[in-house]
Amino acid sequence: MKPALVGDIGGTNARFALWRDNQLHHVRVLATADYTSPEQAIAAYLDEQGIARGELTAVCLAVAGPVHGDEFRFTNSHWRLSRQAFCKTLQVERLQLINDFSAMALGMTRLQEGEFRVVCEGEADLSRPALVIGPGTGLGVGSLLSLGDQRWLALPGEGGHVDLPVGNAREAAIRQLIELEIGHVSAETVLSGGGLVRLYQAICALDGHAPAFKSPAEITDAALAGDAVALSVIEQFCRFLGRVAGNNVLTLGGRGGVYIVGGVIPRFAELFLRSGFAGSFADKGCMSGYFKGVPVWLVTAEFSGLLGAGVALQQA
């Protein structure tokens, strides 16, 4: 039986796999910077697997950004994609494009034991939407709703680009410093890999420290080693994430639970679990009680977006 191909393409990495028997096979991760287009990267993957053009039954790609029309422009990379040109180049009859966090949301339906950790205890109400949110190259936000009979609806959106919320005077001062530098301050401006560096610089300026670190990895490593400034940055990062996640839960009525995904948080999982995330998450004044019993999980599964692309193919 001919295979299908699934892909999960972010700003930094593109993950590809073959989809057979509702499972992933031959997963590969390629750097987007190494290829001029998704077609070139997929061609290299197919060559590696010994699959000729025209042998795929279908392709489903999870892509970072809003999906509509023939042409798709990736939000956080130089890649572009035309559906017609893609199908012609790779000799594919059916190309399905879905938002990357719609795929991530669908991937949550395939989580296994050991692939998540409990952040906030609670019981998911499966009649209500679940929130999927994750800092990575950008800040992805998606939602998931059970339709019954093992079918799911993933609702795409661009919730990472909402305004960054603040809950106290210090957070307002941090936001003001960032706004003076770049203008509009979205949640993604801070809650992403690059945003971690921007937050570090703002906190250094606010507290009178000379910046010593230049990359997310350096800041994270310093925090894990006990550096006080880096620890304060990680703590504030977690608190901002809690505020954004809480706002989304109120907007969605998201008592189906919250899945924290993406590449940033797992790098400092223990610090995150001890952070003020949970307090900021439920810090909503008269609506704080709404969050009682809403479960939150930190997802550590490696290829949820790819699995979600497979689930999308399966449901189609």
Q: What is the CATH number of the domain that holds 221?
A: 3.40.367.20
Which segments are annotated as binding site for ATP? 7-12
End-to-end CA, the chain: 18
Positions in the chain whose pLDDT score sits under 70: 1, 76
Residue 137 pLDDT: 85
Q: Do the domain assignments include residue 53?
A: yes
Tokens 């400034």 sit on residue: 229
Residue 1 pLDDT: 67
Residue 125 pLDDT: 95
Residues 43 and 101 in one domain: yes
- Upper half-sphere CA count for residue 118 (Cβ side, 13 Å): 9
Residues 236 and 308 in one domain: no
Q: Do the domain assignments include residue 133?
A: no
C-alpha closest to that of 122 among 281, 258, 8, 18: 258
Residues 275 and 311 in one domain: no
Number of domains in the chain: 2
Which segments are annotated as binding site? 7-12
- Helix ranges (H only) for the chain are 38-49, 83-90, 100-107, 169-182, 187-190, 193-207, 216-224, 228-252, 269-273, 277-281, 304-315
Distance CA(27)–CA(251), nearest Å, equals 36
Residue 77 pLDDT: 78
- Provide CB contacts within 8 A for 20, sequence distance 6+: 1, 3, 4
Rg (CA), the chain: 20
Q: Do the domain assignments include residue 122?
A: no
Residues 281 and 311 in one domain: no
